[in-house]
Amino acid sequence: ERLFIICYLGPDGEHHWSKHYPFCGGTFQSPIDIQTQLLRFDPTLRPIELQNYNLSANEQLTLGNNGHSIQLSLPRRMYLSSLPHRYTAAQLHFHWGSEHLPVGSEHTVNGRQFAAEMHMVLFNSDKYPNISVAADKSDGLAVLGVLIEVGEFNPAFAQFLKYINGIKYRDQRVQVPAFNIRSLLPVLLDEYYRYDGSLTTPPCYPSVLWTVFKNPVTISLKQFLALATAIYSSHQQESAPVAMNSNYRKPQYTDNRVVLCSFQGGRGLQGATQTVTSPFLRRQVINQLLDGDLADLADQDGLNQLLDGDLQQRSKPNKVQPVWKSGLSEDMLCYVSLEQDVSRQLSRGRSPTHTDTQLVQALRETLFPELNLRSYLGCKSDLALFTIRQLLRGRSATDEALELDQAIVKALGGTGQRGSTAQQQTNTLSKHQTGFAPAPAAVPKKPNQPIPWLQPMEWED
């Protein structure tokens, strides 16, 4: 079996990764362009807290060239304490541009690409024994993204860049004295973007909780050129060395993901002032719609939970189009489009053998099993009207269901005609049939097969 080598251009470039790794052509991929229209302020996001990051110079770290980036191993005693689980550090690596085009960050902000980007990769050590086991789990990985621009000399980066000539070629590695890893990060660790995404290289598992810091760090032009001109992706014995540069993946479709931010307002972020609805409340409302007392939801307090914010504007089915067709709109602040796509599949009745009309079950069949359902159900966004309607249609056509549907229409300023349509939809529940889109193919991954580039570099000579 041919070893798949990560390339960004040519016949094995990023547009062809999905031939070998189907997740690379799937949903919830990274990186993305972090746009103002996608942002929601989440006041519960805490400052990032790294533990045991001030390493002693007596300790040795492994710096290596893995063929598509340079990678620095990190000791397992380093971990993040500001997430629901303990995420233990594994390694950090870099993406950068070229000598002639010094833009190479993977994430962009309102279309702006930075010179480079650093990724610190961590895994959920509360639940998984190592990074190989965690890599394809929905809550397996967390990555800290640091945007890098050319500016002032950075003494922290000099701690390992001065050894870069020892790893000019693929699979070379050197031991470097440890240092304070915190110095590689921005001064402020309380301002960042947060979203659910994927690995940015094959196998592209959508298993990463991304934290991208708002404020970039700087490196000097000389330091940038050390990355862009001194490293090769080929082995030393090869006659035609291949320079390692522009090793970044282009932004992927946002798939209507909400992007949380830990800060409010600021230049270019006027759209990030609306506060998100918590996943707990969202799940509570879904459970209430599925199994609870609908009469309770029809009162004013219940309606306020269902119809939060400007839901009426963002829930019109005829306005929502896939991101690559319609461009940016307010509908992308949550998973409204995704919900409506699945709901349309339900209403088409593509398979008469299916009678379950619950949207949650349709999502289980439509999205990648286990991986993206977590992202959807944990989405910190408002609950779309189309979702509410679909869940109601899964209940018996009782007086309470009709009362709630009519109350929703009235609260949204609907006319009698809209109310009549809603009642007609509810009354035709018994005739409603569902059909599911086929689930994407699973990643062809052998059991316990390690992903070499993810591993900490702890080689022995």
Collapsing DSSP to helix, strand or coil, 201 comes out as coil
Q: Is the CA virtual torsion 107, 109, 112, 116 positive or negative?
A: negative
Asked if 431 contacts 349 with a C-beta cutoff of 8 angstroms, the reply is: no
Query: What is the spatial distance between Cα 135 and Cα 138, in angstroms, rounded to a whole number?
Result: 8
Cα 312 to the center of its chain, rounded Å: 27
Q: Are the C-beta atoms of 87 and 99 separated by less than 8 Å?
A: no
Token pair for residue 312? 């009426």
368 close to 27: Cβ distance less than 8 angstroms: yes
First-to-last alpha carbon distance for the chain, in angstroms, is 27
**Whether 352 contacts 308, CB under 8 Å:** no
**Which one from 68, 93, 107, 119 is the annotated catalytic residue?**
68
Q: Counting runs of H as helices and runs of E as strands, what totals does the chain give?
A: 15, 16
85 is catalytic: no
Beta strands in 26-102 (DSSP E): 33-34, 39-41, 50-51, 60-65, 70-73, 79-80, 87-96
Provide the annotated active-site residues.
68
